[in-house]
Amino acid sequence: QLSDQQKMSESPLSRFRGMYLPPALHPLNKTLVKGGKWKDVDSTQEKRRSFLQDFCKKYNSRKKLRTHLVHLVSRIYVEDRHKVLYCEVPKAGCSNWKRVLMVLNGLAASVHNISHDDVHYGKHLRKLDSYDLKGIYTRLNMYTKAIFVRDPMERLVSAFRDKFEHPNSYYHPVFGKAIIKKYRHNANEEALKTGSGVKFKEFIQYLLDSRRPVGMDIHWEQVSKLCYPCLINYDFIGKFETLEEDANYFLRLVGAPAELKFPKFKDRHSSDERTSAEVVKQYLKELSKEERQLTYDFYYLDYLMFNYTSP
């Protein structure tokens, strides 16, 4: 029994610890979709939705996860005009998705003149955790919720290449220095000072270390922990592998202006080869068989949830 004083001091949010959202998956509203060109994309979409639903029923992670509702929705961006919620998965088209949300919201006229810094540091878009509980619940129940995912190994290698193979004023000094210090024997003074030149094998040692010297980062965090797909019933599951057609179908579903198309351009390091299965294979060669297996195990849930084939 709580004393009155304890009840008063208890955060109103703590009452929501351990709660999860209604399990019902709404049928997609397809009234705004015209013509038969989206038939195949729609059929794929329905398969993905029912696959994830079935997986979540079997896995039943609801019992295992106790966390604040506000934390569950901390990666979800809100676009109120078209009633869209988008959960950000880095390295799966998220920069261009944020550009699209800015255009939908009337914050920009075109996706083509929004800079990378404006997308990521401009604070133009609101996240769902910035609303009060009623605002969060209303939007979760009324808006179309989308998530876009990517093959876990491709996403991981893409994040490594982006953050460690190019100059970076945050990832080198914060992550790079700590990784080199802990995992590189006989590291020279320059590497310890700058944190540049982290090798993929060292990065994987950090990732798999239960006592890693620096915390996790959203660019390589599991999707299951970024977006909680078994707790939040996403209406739309897009994949990086079919990004354009999925994204453009989604835009039709939510009634976006007809001229708005998902941008094709690569956000940064545009001259680099895209991280493909072939590129991933080269990076995985640097790892031992055991490290490869443990890395797969680390992303095991993401592989299962979104029906990706193990590498």
Q: What is the DSSP string of 101-126?
A: HHHHTTS-S-GGG--HHHHHHS--SE
Whether residue 179 is contained in a domain is answered as no
Asked if residue 5 has pLDDT above 60, the reply is: no
The model's pTM is: 0.88
Please give the average per-residue pLDDT across 138-164, as a whole number.
Answer: 96
- Answer yes or no: is 6 within a domain: no
Sheet arrangement for strand 76-79: 126-127, 76-79, 84-87, 144-149, 236-239
Per the structure, the complete domain to which residue 53 belongs is given by: 26-152+221-275+301-306
Q: How confident is the model at residue 69, as a pLDDT? A: 83
Domain assignment present for residue 164? The answer is no
Average pLDDT of the chain is 88
Could you tell me if 150 and 89 are in contact, meaning their C-beta atoms sit under 8 angstroms apart? yes
* Residue 233 belongs to a domain: yes
Alpha carbons within 13 A on the beta-carbon side of 303: 13
Instruction: Look at residue 259 and tell me if it is in a domain.
Output: yes
Euclidean distance between CA atoms 54 and 92, whole angstroms? 24
Is the pLDDT confidence value at 212 over 80? yes
Instruction: Please check whether residue 43 lies inside any domain of the structure.
Output: yes
Rounded Cα–Cα distance for residues 275 and 206 (Å) = 21
Instruction: Look at residue 26 in the predicted model and tell me its pLDDT.
Output: 76
Q: Is 299 helix (H, G, I), strand (E, B) or coil?
A: coil
Question: Does the pLDDT of residue 291 top 90, yes or no?
Answer: yes
205 found inside a domain: no
Whether the predicted pLDDT of 14 surpasses 50: no
Dihedral of CA atoms 217, 223, 228, 232 in degrees, nearest 10, equals 130
Whether the CB-CB separation of 105 and 125 falls below 8 Å is answered with: yes
Q: Please state the domain count of the chain.
A: 1
Q: How far is CA 56 from CA 23, 228, 234, in A?
A: 10, 11, 12
pLDDT digits (tens, 9 = 90+) for 83-92: 999 999 999 9
Contact 276, 245 (CB under 8 A): no
Residues 64-109 have pLDDT tens digits of 556 678 889 999 999 999 999 999 999 999 999 999 999 999 888 8
Question: Which structure tokens are listed for 102?
Answer: 């800015």
* pLDDT score for 182: 97
- Per the listing, tokens 């039709």 go with 252
